[in-house]
Amino acid sequence: MTTHRSAESRMKFVLTGLQWCLGVVILVEAALFLFGPESRHAFASTHMPNAIRLILGWGEIAGAVLLLIPQTVVGGGWLLLFIFVFAIVVHVLHGLPNVGNLVIYSAAAWAVAYGKGADERSARASGE
């Protein structure tokens, strides 16, 4: 029983670390993506509508902020996963195959959303 609780507490600790790393990194990168002059110029060279840049950037900021608030972690994780998958699709459709970072971010968002959601379901089931 003690080993199970210890493993469970380690998993919660690891998920919280991943949650904060992902949230802070995405918040900083999204701000640079939206407000950095080099980023704006690079995006313009793709000939995609600026609205896509705004949707992706603000969606990432919203998801990252939600991910950093304990009560909204699960929603923030799912929002980020949706935004990252959308970004992957946009990249691939426009012939930009460099989506490795987005795939890793997607996996991290999925792990946090699913893991923290499981924590919430477990707490509700046990009556906490």
- Which pLDDT score, from 0 to 100, does residue 127 have? 65
- Which pLDDT score, from 0 to 100, does residue 68 have? 97
pTM of the model: 0.87
* Per-residue b or e along 4-22, where b marks 16 or more CB atoms closer than 10 Å to that residue's CB: eeeeeeeeeeebbebbeeb
- Which pLDDT score, from 0 to 100, does residue 99 have? 96
- Which pLDDT score, from 0 to 100, does residue 121 have? 67
Of 61, 124, 59, 47, which Cα lies nearest the Cα of 86? 59
How many separate domains does the chain show?
1
Domain holding 77, by residue range, is: 2-126
CB 26 within 8 A of CB 60: yes
Ranges of the chain with pLDDT below 70: 1-4, 121-128
Token pair recorded at residue 35: 């407000």
